[in-house]
Amino acid sequence: MLSRLRYTLRETFDSFRRNATLTLAAIITAAISLLGVGLTLLSQKGFDNLLSKWEGGVEMIIFVNAGASADQLGVIEGALGNNPQFVESFGYCDSQCSLNEAEIVLAGEPGTLELLTADNIPTQYKVVPTEGTDVELLRQLEGAFSELPNVFNVQFAEDQISLIGQLQDFFGFRLLLLSVFLLLAAVLLIWNTIRTAIFARRREIEVMKLVGATDWFIRIPFMLEGLLHGIIGGVLASAGLWAWNSQWTSGVGEFPDGSGFAALVVTDGYDKQVMLIMLLIGAAAGAIGSGIAASRFLDV
């Protein structure tokens, strides 16, 4: 068993050396394509962060001054309850809820986030309008609620959701499509690399078969080579994604407060999950490309 393992590893790395140019091309292509996949997933998560406060059909958020008393909150709730024809439901997001949301929305503005506490952060009422409510009527409600005591701001979803949704669809689809094409190119390059390696050693393979070597014994080093192509590409792509995300995070921190880009920063460990996904996709691409080549061209 140990001798077989040594043989497999030796043959795999010898093949790396013999086909250095093709191997390098396959690894670089795999890395670029996987980086594209990672950036797509990361950007979609950033857009989801931007939209997180509008989940559940919320189309209006009423921000209330920190420290408002129960009676003062009751005035706002009464105004919401007096418009059942326009307001289907509403929910109150207290100081802790608002802090949790701020950690997502203001992830790229650590200075601002450090200043927020349960005592000074505004609380929120999230309003879900009745189905079919006219936009102009909602804007009239927005103006009416802005005049209520202890209300310092009212945000309307239409101004943000439409633009963010368009950007998310535009970048997400095109980045993913480009990544898929590049990943297919990586699989084809790995396939061609393994095919070349098999043809270069066809006489050795013939001799091995004559002395009783099975197809799987011959095939495994080639398949391992392709698998390593994908894994190394995934490692390089993960390093690139980490560098990209680190630069983006520090860069957004220098933007003016309230620029709107803070929520596009992903700091909750999701980038590590994306890196794992990239490694798995890379390993799968390498295994598929090498597996097909080793199976198809082994009879030499």
DSSP letter, residue 85: T
pLDDT band at 7 (very low <50, low <70, confident <90, very high): low
Mean pLDDT of all residues belonging to the chain:
77
Domain ranges for the chain, please list them.
Answer: 2-52+162-296, 59-156
pLDDT digits (tens, 9 = 90+) for 101-124: 888 777 667 777 778 888 888 898
3-class DSSP state for residue 270? helix
Q: How many CB atoms lie within 10 A of CB 76?
A: 20
Q: Are 23 and 16 in contact (CB under 8 A)?
A: yes
For the domain covering 59-156, report its CATH number.
Answer: 3.30.70.3040
Nearest to 34 by CA among 174, 175, 167: 175
User: Cα-Cα-Cα-Cα dihedral of 51, 56, 57, 59, to 10°?
Assistant: -50
Rounded distance between C-alpha atoms, residue 17 and residue 24, angstroms:
10
Amino acid at 219: R
Higher pLDDT, 172 or 80: 80
pLDDT digits (tens, 9 = 90+) for 44-77: 887 777 666 655 556 778 889 888 888 888 888 8
Rounded distance between C-alpha atoms, residue 218 and residue 209, angstroms:
9
Higher pLDDT, 116 or 159: 116
Q: Quote the pLDDT of residue 222.
A: 78
pLDDT digits (tens, 9 = 90+) for 250-281: 777 666 555 556 667 777 778 888 899 989 98
The single residue listed with the structure tokens 């620029």 is 259
Q: Quote the pLDDT of residue 80.
A: 83
Q: Quote the pLDDT of residue 236.
A: 93
pLDDT band at 82 (very low <50, low <70, confident <90, very high): confident
Q: How far apart are the first and last CA of the chain?
A: 27
Q: Quote the pLDDT of residue 104.
A: 77
Q: Tell me the C-alpha to C-alpha distance, in Å, between residue 237 and each of 26, 137, 221, 244, 272.
A: 13, 49, 24, 10, 12
pLDDT band at 128 (very low <50, low <70, confident <90, very high): confident
